[in-house]
Amino acid sequence: MAASDTDSPAATAPWETKRGSNGHHLVRRSLPWLGGLLLLGLIAWGLWPKPVVIETGKVTRGPLTVRVSEEGKTRVRNRYVVAAPVAGKMRRVPLKPGDEVKAGETVLTAIEPIAAPLLDPRARAQAEAVVSMHEAGRKQAAATLEARQSALKMAEADRDRVRAVTRAGTVSETDRDRAEGDASIRAAEVRAAEFSLQVIDYELAQARAALERPEGNAVGNLVEVKSPVSGRVLKVIQESEMVVSPGTRILEIGDPADIEIEAEILSRDAVTIRPGDAVDIEQWGGENPLKGRVRRVEPAAFTKISSLGVEEQRVIVLSDLVDIPEAAKALGDRFRVEARVAVWHGDDVLIVPAGALFREGNAWKTYVYRDGKATLTAIEAGHSDGRFTEILSGLAAGDEVLLHPPDTVTDGTPVLKRE
Q: What is the DSSP string of 354-415?
A: GGG-EEETTEEEEEEEETTEEEEEEEEEEEE-SSEEEEEES--TT-EEEES--TT--TT-BE
pLDDT at residue 224 tops 80: yes
- The answer to whether residues 271 and 236 touch, using CB atoms and an 8 Å cutoff, is no
Region of 370 (left: φ > 0; alpha: ψ -120 to 50; beta: rest) is beta
> Mind listing the pLDDT tens digit for each residue in 20-43?
556 666 767 777 777 778 788 777
Percentage of residues of the chain with pLDDT beyond 90: 53
Average pLDDT of the segment spanning 1-15: 49
Helix (H) or strand (E) holding 46: helix 22-47
For the residues 337-363, what does the mean pLDDT come to?
Answer: 92
Residue 256 near residue 232 (C-beta atoms within 8 A): yes
Nearest residue to 130 (alpha-carbon basis) of 39, 195, 183, 208: 208
Provide the pLDDT for residue 74. Answer: 95
Q: What is the pLDDT of residue 167?
A: 62
pLDDT: which is higher, 185 or 52: 185
Residues 6 or more apart whose Cβ sits within 8 Å of residue 74: 259, 260, 261, 262, 331, 332, 333, 334, 335, 337
Predicted pLDDT at 83: 95
Reply yes or no on whether the pLDDT at 7 is more than 70: no
Look at residue 2 in the predicted model and tell me its pLDDT.
47
d(CA 234, CA 252): 5
pLDDT of residue 220: 65
Q: How many residues does the chain have?
A: 419
pLDDT for 168 equals: 58
Give the model's pLDDT for residue 21: 54
pLDDT at 1: 43
Give residue 218's pLDDT: 56
| Beta carbons of 314 and 372 less than 8 angstroms apart | no
| H-run or E-run covering 1 | none
pLDDT digits (tens, 9 = 90+) for 353-396: 999 999 988 899 999 998 888 999 999 999 998 899 999 999 99
Mean pLDDT estimate for the chain? 86
- Per-residue pLDDT band for 3 (boundaries 50, 70, 90) equals very low
pLDDT at 341 over 50: yes
Using a 10 angstrom Cβ sphere, with 0-12 exposed, 13-18 middle and 19 or more buried, the burial of residue 156 is middle
**In this model, does residue 17 exceed pLDDT 80?**
no
CA dist 225 and 320 (Å) reads 32
Q: Per-residue pLDDT averaged across 289-295, rounded? A: 95
Least reliable range by pLDDT among 101-105, 161-165, 326-330, 401-405: 161-165
Query: Residue 13: its pLDDT value, please?
Result: 54
| Band (161; pLDDT cuts 50, 70, 90) | confident
Antiparallel, parallel or unpaired: β 388-393 and 373-384:
antiparallel
Contact criterion met (CB below 8 Å) for 249 and 81 = yes
**In the predicted model, is pLDDT for residue 398 greater than 80?**
yes
Q: How confident is the model over 123-152, as a mean pLDDT?
A: 90
More confident residue, 311 or 176: 311
Q: Which of 298, 262, 289 is nearest to 77 (CA)?
A: 262
291 three-state secondary structure: strand
Q: Does residue 169 register a pLDDT over 70?
A: no
Question: Averaged over 407-415, what is the pLDDT?
Answer: 87
More confident residue, 12 or 191: 191
Residue 153 in 3-state DSSP? Answer: helix
According to the model, what pLDDT value does residue 314 have?
96
Indicate the residue type of 201.
Answer: D
Give the Å distances, CA to CA, from 229 to 80, 91, 101, 252, 256.
8, 21, 8, 11, 13
HSE at residue 94, side-chain half, CA atoms within 13 A, is 9
Rounded Cα distance between 392 and 378, Å, is: 11
Q: Distance (Å, rounded) from C-alpha 156 to C-alpha 176? A: 12
